[in-house]
Amino acid sequence: MKNENSPTQEFREIVYESCKAIGLDDFPSRLISVLQTEKEGISLGALSEITGYSLSNLSTTIKGMEERQMVKKFKKPRSRKVFVVMDKDITSFFIELQKKRYKQSIEPSLKQIPEIIKRYEGKEEFQEELTIIKDYYKQTLFMSEETKKFIRALENREALK
């Protein structure tokens, strides 16, 4: 549902939908959409109010995001509240996402498919199946190289800052 109350609300919806489109779950997508609009950080309490998620759920998810260096937690002087701030550099975020996808999707195929081919290569009854598998492997090699180039290009763009 599109909320047209303010540019921030509309922007949050765009960020939320973008995060969902690249495969993030609802909860992190919602958090990122809010954190992207907070300049100085936001308290966990305020984040809970805005998102509707409990402090417990927020703390757990924020901890995971912090471990991935997506956010930083901090306390302000003379305050007991915990605040969280997100790096607004979406390019770095996207680079890390692409690296994760490469590691989870392409790397296992590059390692395991040659083993399958080697195991069945000399057996005539499997040649038709191996043709399909070899074609898939060739495409995976291509995707591997193009993904690495894409990541390097993004990283080089980062270096220009």
Contact present, 106 and 143 (Cβ < 8 Å): yes
- Verify that 100 and 50 share a domain, yes or no: no
Tell me: do 57 and 100 sit in the same domain: no
Contact 16, 1 (CB under 8 A): no
pLDDT digits (tens, 9 = 90+) for 49-97: 999 999 999 999 999 888 887 889 999 888 889 999 998 888 888 888 8
Model pLDDT, residue 4: 60
What DSSP designation does 53 have?
A: -
Residue 34 sits in the same domain as residue 65: yes
Are 88 and 40 in contact by the 8 Å Cβ rule? The answer is no
What's the chain's Rg over C-alpha atoms?
22
Contact 84, 47 (CB under 8 A): yes
What total of structural domains would you count in the chain?
2
- Which position has the token pair 């680079």? 95
Range with the poorest average pLDDT among 7-21, 59-73, 123-137: 59-73
Provide the CATH number for the domain around residue 73: 1.10.10.10
Higher-pLDDT residue of 92, 47: 47
The answer to the question of residue 56 being in a domain is yes
pLDDT band at 144 (very low <50, low <70, confident <90, very high): very high
Shared domain check, 139 and 70: no
Q: How far apart are CA 85 and CA 127, in angstroms?
A: 55
Last residue in a domain, options 70, 86, 102 = 86
Given 38, 65, 86, the domain boundary residue is: 86
Range of the domain at 120: 90-159
Q: Is the pTM of this model over 0.85?
A: no
Average pLDDT of the chain is: 90
Distances 128 to 118, 131, 135, 138 between C-alpha atoms, Å = 14, 5, 11, 16
In a domain, 1, yes or no: no
Q: In terms of pLDDT, which residue wins out, 131 or 94?
A: 131
Which of 86, 102, 135 delimits the end of a domain?
A: 86
